[in-house]
Chains A and B, each alone.
Chain A
Amino acid sequence: MAKVNIEKKILTKNEMKAAEVRERLKDVAVLNFVSSPGSGKTTLLENVLAGLKEKYKIAVVEGDQQTTHDADRIKAAGVEAFQVNTGNACHLEAVDVERALDTLGYDLDLLVIENVGNLVCPAEYDLGEDAKVMLISVTEGDDKPIKYPVMTRACEAMIVNKTDLLPYVDFDVEGCIRYAKGVNPDLEIMTVSCRAKEGLDTVTAYIEKKILEKKGK
């Protein structure tokens, strides 16, 4: 019996496809939004993109198991959107993004991907994004960042949403941030209420920073 040393990273087909997508989107900022179902991803995008669309060319890829509700909501806000229905799959894959781009085109400043709602599998699938952004709403419990540490580490930013509901729940914002930083010290953290329209400017500024970074400005 002979031993053959290899020592090589196992790159999946999805990662190879993601690298192709990334290469084709070299000048486009690509953000992959992840959260549990109902944290407010679509609501946040409706609010924030409505302003950014005046300055930048934006498209959104919406992932859900079924329905075109979210793409319809984004289009109603005046932004191009493409709905991917994943059927039984619990996450988007890079090939879904490639397919969406066949329709949306590559001539963009910003591509936003709203992933299927769950904090497990989407952590494992590179979609060619520059950053994953995680949303947590205050009704979900402040320990989500350590309950889903793989996702917390995969993300560049975390947005705590629905702060208008803080008086009614026992969510400890400081505690949540502490948990998050203990898993990922580099995490950029924003707190917002889409309902009360608070903190949305910080999200807009973060996205704009990502766009300009990608343009090399």
Chain B
Amino acid sequence: MHELGIASSLIEIVIETAEANDAEIVRTVTAKIGRLAGVDSNALYFAYDAVKEEYPLLKDSKLIIETVPITGQCEDCGKTDTYEEMFFACSSCGSFSVKLLTGEELTISNIEVD
């Protein structure tokens, strides 16, 4: 549902950047999305393709989503883990005092332009 809002904001940043760099056409847009960001990649691809149609600069561009895994570090023993499930117990000592290092990002990394 909110993927449309994210696509619109993303595209605003892309256009601003493309214009500042005198680009004629945007080829790719790369975004990093953490698994805990609450964003559905397919919905975002769909929303991006729908919104880009309104902008000649973007109409041939492709969105690339890099999914960022959830990693965290135990604050008790220092062990670093990668989490598949969204339950963050330290694999070494069992502590729940885990500070997440990655997995919550929602960032635009770069664009490729001509």
Of A10-18, A75-83, A102-110, A196-204, the stretch lying at the interface with chain B is A10-18
Assess whether B27 is in contact with A150, with CB atoms less than 8 Å apart.
Answer: no
Q: Which of B86, B107, B111 contacts A183 (CB 8 A)?
A: B86
Q: Does B64 contact A (CB under 8 A)?
A: no
Residues of B within 8 A of A181 (CB): 96
* A10-B13 CB under 8 A given contacts A2-B21, A146-B86: yes
The CA-CA distance from A59 to B74 in the complex, in Å, is: 41
Q: Report the minimum CB–CB distance from B64 to chain A (whole Å).
A: 12
Assess whether B112 is in contact with A6, with CB atoms less than 8 Å apart.
Answer: no
Q: Does B98 contact A (CB under 8 A)?
A: yes
Q: Which of A5, A124, A150 contacts B110 (CB 8 A)?
A: A5
Residues of B within 8 A of A182 (CB): 87-89, 96
Assess whether B2 is in contact with A12, with CB atoms less than 8 Å apart.
Answer: yes
Q: How many A-B residue contacts, CB cutoff 8 Å?
A: 91
Q: Does A125 contact B (CB under 8 A)?
A: yes
- Which of A14, A121, A124, A183 gathers most chain B CB within 10 Å? A124
Q: Report the minimum CB–CB distance from A136 to chain B (whole Å).
A: 16
The CA-CA distance from A123 to B1 in the complex, in Å, is: 12
Q: Does A3 contact B (CB under 8 A)?
A: yes
Assess whether B31 is in contact with A185, with CB atoms less than 8 Å apart.
Answer: no
Residues of A within 8 A of B36 (CB): 149-150, 153
Range, interface on chain B: 35 or more
* A2-B9 CB under 8 A given contacts A12-B2, A185-B97: no
The CA-CA distance from A7 to B8 in the complex, in Å, is: 17
* A12-B112 CB under 8 A given contacts A183-B88, A185-B98: no
**Interface residue count on the A side (C-beta < 8 Å):** 30
* A4-B96 CB under 8 A given contacts A10-B10, A12-B9: no
Assess whether B9 is in contact with A13, with CB atoms less than 8 Å apart.
Answer: yes
Q: Does A217 contact B (CB under 8 A)?
A: no
Assess whether A6 is in contact with B9, with CB atoms less than 8 Å apart.
Answer: no
Q: Report the minimum CB–CB distance from A17 to chain B (whole Å).
A: 11
| Interface 0/1 of A85-104, CB less than 8 Å to B | 00001110000000000000
Closest Cβ neighbor of A2 among chain B residues: B113
Residues of A within 8 A of B96 (CB): 181-182, 185
Q: Does B92 contact A (CB under 8 A)?
A: no
Q: List 23 A-B contacts (CB under 8 A).
A: A1-B114, A3-B112, A4-B21, A4-B112, A6-B17, A6-B110, A6-B111, A7-B109, A10-B6, A10-B10, A12-B2, A12-B8, A13-B5, A121-B1, A123-B38, A124-B2, A125-B2, A150-B38, A153-B36, A182-B87, A183-B87, A185-B88, A185-B96
The 8 nearest A-B residue pairs measured at CB:
A149-B86, A150-B38, A182-B87, A12-B5, A185-B96, A12-B9, A124-B2, A5-B110
Interface of A toward B, CB cutoff 8 Å = 1-14, 89-91, 121, 123-125, 146, 149-150, 153, 179, 181-183, 185
